[in-house]
Amino acid sequence: MIKDFVVYVLSDSVGDTAEQVARASAEQYQASNYEIKKYPYVESKLKIDNIMEDLDPKNSIFVYTIVNQEISEYLQAICQEKEIHYIDVMTESLNAFTEFLNEEPTRESGIIRKLDEDYFKRVEAVEFAVKYDDGKDPRGILKADIVLIGVSRSSKTPLSMYLAHKNYKVVNIPLVKGAKVPEQLFEVPRKKIIGLMIDPSDLIEIRRERIRVLGLDNSVDYVSVEKIYEELEYAEKIMRKIGCPVIDMTKKAVEEAANLVIDIINDLN
């Protein structure tokens, strides 16, 4: 029985999966002592050759998650040649999935890590959109990837949230006649700012429905035809001053508008 042994954990990504498998297995043998040597980002045959130097095949075992087939097969061949025990965590699993799905794997390393990073970026973007929604704190303008400006009920908030789920940090700023425009709007690159306009008749209907839902008086300035035209004229004036691209939100679904915003931002950057 081997009393002391070394577990070599290799991966072409960070190696957390292989390490967890190795530890969970090794801990089942209380009569032996072990050491784990972890080697992440093993992406070349030379790195494998360097790891193989000066190790004792008799008290070594390899546990690895390498999705690159050439590198994986190379490591397996060396282990067999040197009579080193090894556990190829990925290959058997990939073979089973390939047979089940009748589809070849991408063999891209670090996919789980990338998915995790993408998830946390999305959560951060959503929290950002909520924090800086509707001009709550204009300081967010300087931190945002995208700044949406427009009059009330021009779909700024739903568009902000949709873009946040695409990992963009979005601030939306209402343009209200008589209210001071945040100075930060003139401090950021105008290529980050998107103006939202909407047909007056559509805006009137949207606002009247909003008033009805809230149970308010339909005669308030919020739904006044004259005031709405003044608001839109004022908003257009600010957008021209900034020099930002403008999207007509009339009859547009949020998804369609979001794609337009992303296209504009990508073209300008």
Q: Tokens in use for 188? A: 């950021």
Indicate the burial class of 218 (C-beta count within 10 angstroms; 0-12, 13-18, 19 or more): exposed
Of all residues in the chain, the percent with pLDDT exceeding 70 is: 96
Verify that 96 and 148 share a domain, yes or no: no
Q: Average pLDDT over the chain, rounded to whole?
A: 91
The domain boundary residue, chosen from 74, 109, 144: 109
Tens of pLDDT, residues 86-96: 999 988 888 88
Same domain as 124, residue 22: no
157 is in an annotated binding site: yes
98 in a known ligand binding site: no
| 63 sits in which H/E element | strand 60-65
Same domain as 178, residue 164? yes
Of the pLDDT bands very low, low, confident and very high (cuts 50, 70, 90), residue 211 is confident
pLDDT score for 14: 85
**96 and 120 fall within a common domain:** no
Count of domains forming the chain: 2
Q: Do residue 121 and residue 102 come from a single domain?
A: no
64 near 72, Cβ under 8 Å?
A: yes
Q: Could you read off the pLDDT of 212-222 as tens digits, one per residue?
A: 888 777 667 78
Residues 24 and 90 in one domain: yes
Q: What's the CA gap between 19 and 62, in Å, rounded?
A: 11
Kindly state whether residues 144 and 205 are assigned to the same domain. Answer: yes
Are 151 and 102 in a shared domain? no
Alpha carbon distance 14, 98 (integer Å): 24
Q: 100-156: per-residue pLDDT in tens?
A: 889 888 777 766 666 667 778 898 999 999 999 999 999 999 999 999 999 999 999
Q: Indicate whether 120 and 81 sit together in one domain.
A: no
**Under 8 Å CB-to-CB from 260, ≥6 apart: which residues?**
247, 252
Q: Are 117 and 250 in a shared domain?
A: yes
Residue 213 annotated as lining a ligand binding site = no
151 in a known ligand binding site: yes
- pLDDT on residue 71: 93
Find the domain containing 159 and state its range: 112-268
Per-residue pLDDT, averaged over 244-261, amounts to: 96
Same domain, 28 and 46: yes
Mean local confidence (pLDDT), 241-253: 96
Of 62, 90, 109, which marks where a domain is finished? 109
pLDDT of 144 reads 97
Q: What is the pLDDT of residue 110?
A: 67
Task: Give the residue-averaged pLDDT of 71-84.
Answer: 95
pLDDT exceeds cutoff 70 at 85: yes
Q: Read off the CATH number of the domain in which 240 is found.
A: 3.40.50
0.75 exceeded by the pTM? no
Residue 45 known to bind ligand: no
Task: Tell me if 178 is assigned to a ligand binding site.
Answer: no
Residue 152 counted as an annotated binding residue: yes
Tell me what pLDDT residue 90 has. Answer: 87
The Cβ of residue 131 has, within 10 Å, a number of other Cβ atoms equal to 13
Query: 124 with 249, same domain?
Result: yes
Domain finish residue from 109, 126, 151:
109
Asked whether residue 109 is marked as a ligand-binding residue, the answer is no
